[in-house]
Amino acid sequence: MCMSHFKVSAPGSTMLLGEYAVLHRGWALVCAVDQRVTVQLTPRTDNQIEIISSLGSYQTQLMQLEIVPPFQFVLAALKKYQKQLKQGCTLTIQSEFSEKIGLSSSAAVTVATLSAITMWLQITYTPMQLIQRARRIVQQVQGMGSGADVAAAVLGGVVAYRQQPLVAEKMCWISALNLIYSGSKTPTAIAINQVETRFAKYPILYKQILRAIDACAQQGISAIKNGDNKALGQVMTIQQGLMQALGVNTPVLQGLIEELILQPMILGAKISGSGLGDSVIALGTLIEDYVPCFSEQGTKRIPMMIAPEGVTVC
């Protein structure tokens, strides 16, 4: 394949149901969102690796690749194929959303980068193989991660996901979803560590909460298959109570959720992600002029539609 460049995009994503349980062989529902990360790979005639993005720029030699921030996911993908690369390349990265507001930018950039590299090397992967390889890269860098966001970046739409044994099923469902950013974000690894520390003396309780969250995700999957948005909204609100039990709620998140469920067309609302900040997701239609009541703390409404397409060659 003789091309001057290889350009690939992948969507960001947000969790609908199943947080924490998905890390322990439970189910999750994850949504691809219509804000994307695009990676353009341009082969070079020398051995230099160059990365250009809004986060800055980085240069190194092909044989001196090291996994360093803020480009650790991109560099980890390159290093995976280091022995197969015969020349350097320039990677230009553009994102339609800030990495500071979540939306799983790490999964999106990993999937897009990995896809561009394999196109360049003329390697073909099935979607499930791409999910497995991108998931391993994310886990290598983060030390953890279920891969649900990777599956959404690869497949698009709404995905029913289980980490082990691996299942990633794209579901036929389109509905109104709203994402409200709380104004702050705690890194996922820190939130997970805080939860595990909180329940270190109560392992049985922790397992029971995780089983209940897993059951919520499974009920949510059934609700989508049955086209029952009312049931899905109820399950979301039930899981919010379990997120509260895990200790990942905050006054701002709780205030947003209480405000959202008072909206007449909202069927359910909950924390999306690991909590202690990040975003709230609500099912249903908001009034057009809705503004979060905690706007002075940096909360904001993020325009969101479900992205029907996953990783895409541009």
Instruction: Judge whether residue 25 has pLDDT over 50.
Output: yes
Clarify whether residues 35 and 149 are in a common domain. Answer: yes
Higher pLDDT, 14 or 293: 14
Instruction: Judge whether residue 87 has pLDDT over 90.
Output: yes
Extended beta strands in the chain, E state:
6-17, 27-43, 48-53, 56-61, 89-95, 158-162, 167-171, 177-181, 266-272, 279-284, 300-302, 312-313
Q: Which amino acid is at 9?
A: S
- Under DSSP, the state recorded for 54 is T
CATH code at 126? 3.30.230.10
Domain boundary among 157, 173, 189: 173
* Averaged confidence pLDDT in the chain: 93
Structure tokens at 219: 């009920």
CATH code at 291? 3.30.70.890
* Whether 302 contacts 182, CB under 8 Å: no
- pLDDT of the residue at 119: 96
Reported pTM: 0.93
State which residues form the domain around 238.
177-302
Clarify whether residues 148 and 276 are in a common domain. Answer: no
Q: How many domains does one find in the chain?
A: 2
Clarify whether residues 102 and 151 are in a common domain. Answer: yes
DSSP codes of every residue in 129-145: HHHHHHHHHHHHHHS--
187 found inside a domain: yes
